[in-house]
Chains A and B, each alone.
Chain A
């Protein structure tokens, strides 16, 4: 079985988000980039399937040379080889095109992306790839078991979960539940050493975007927090009822 995990390099979750060049560009100055948190669940799931089902695990990332530390970390965690498509991922569509083009030349049985990346929150890449390759797709997957050519999946729906069975190939957008938080793999010394000699192929692509990012602004900051004494909860309820009008 051939598995592909799609990896996005995103600012560390504690990052302060700022913009430069007249608020048109994300300010990467001083920002630590990490594996997109949703992709970590898919990556660990891929490593587990590799160990159990003897699968081959490839990781793909779309980005310029500055994303290499993140993809090296993915190799250290357990991917066998990696591919970097050397282009700036300027929107979901051009990113999906780049990945779909690679898959057309190099077929995979199971493609695992994250349900969204925590920077632009588009949540669109796996669904677009599904259309480009004309294969089944499920998003917000929180459970996956593989049995030969068959897969059983659960996906989150509003207010519950849905259980689905399908045949490979399939693409999923994953999240917590694919594996548990406590199962997430982190690189160990041996992994880091072997990652240095694992293949990292760099390919060119220049797919065109559909969307154009124009500028950024930050949400207005809230006013002061009104403090209420714990002996006067009646006042809190009255403020929520008459001032904020939310209860």
Chain B
């Protein structure tokens, strides 16, 4: 018996979320007393693959010639290599979220998505998961033989468990159901879904020309930038930065909301953040009811001061 973890790379390097998923999978494999194997698609060098051993993976199946977006073939390979697996574990990347449901249907294995706990009952795979845009937690179970689990972003820590990882390379090439023409990355910034710190700004900033200080603050903290929905709707910032119930759900360690009122739809996508700071001119802004730390003040006064103070502690 085994646990299989899906790992994902970008330009040959594993995403941080892959190590989170492996660490989580390692705990599940210890609870169930099984081996932990991993599967990887796309070209990843041996040195990088062997890093999975640091998180408890004893064997990785690497498919360098299969594009990870090709969810038809990746699903088939995972199904084949999961014959003996009790659970297949995914992180919360866009690509993982394409494969997991396909695999669930193929294997007729219950899909537990946005999971925030370890297994609560091993007899019938019981977990808690986020629902209603993180306004609630749902306890769900499945009594299928295997379970497919996608973990909630940033809900589990990376934990080391150093063992050596055997690498098995499978050179198969298969025709995809579609062609990947290319990709574009958001310019040189930290990916919003993986960032530990997110600096977010809203309509209170008055116009796109005022984002310089937001970017400067984000750079200092190695943070990703985000925005409220109206800001992306009017085109001050790209859609990829829109967070909230109808945008991206984020759960960083620190979320700083600058000039954002804190509408229920905005909070729904960000309130799983561990610590939230609100900066707003209006002392009655709803964000102060959700935040851990608040400053009533003008962003154009507070943000430059914040930049100066952070520079001091960075030195």
Contacts and interface: CB of A to CB of B under 8 A. Distances in A.
* Majority SS at the chain B contact face: mixed
Interface of B: 10, 15, 17, 69, 71-72, 75, 93-95, 97-106, 108-114, 126, 130-144, 177-186, 189, 191-194, 196-197, 221, 233, 239-240, 242, 245-247, 253-254, 264-265, 268, 271-272, 274-275, 277-278, 288-298, 301-302, 305-306, 308-310, 312-313
Contacts of A122: 101, 111, 113
Given A157-B94, A170-B178, A222-B292, 14 more contacts: A121-B114, A123-B113, A128-B102, A130-B71, A159-B189, A160-B183, A160-B186, A165-B179, A210-B104, A213-B140, A214-B139, A230-B301, A233-B302, A237-B306
Given A177-B239, A212-B142, A246-B275, A240 B254 contact: yes
B181 A164 contact: yes
Contacts of B233: 180-182
Contacts, number: 271
Given A163-B183, A217-B137, A120 B295 contact: no
A212 B102 contact: no
Contacts of B289: 225
Interface of A: 11, 13-14, 17, 19, 37-38, 92-93, 96, 118-128, 130-132, 135-140, 142, 152, 155-167, 170, 176-177, 180-182, 210-219, 222-223, 225-230, 233-234, 236-241, 244, 246-247
16 contacts: A13-B245, A118-B132, A121-B133, A123-B101, A127-B101, A159-B194, A164-B181, A165-B179, A170-B178, A211-B111, A211-B142, A212-B140, A214-B139, A225-B278, A233-B295, A244-B275
Contact of B138 (A13, A96, A120): A120
A136 B67 CA distance: 14
A163 B178 contact: no
Contacts of A219: 134-137, 271-272
Contacts of A137: 71-72, 98, 102
Nearest to A11: B132
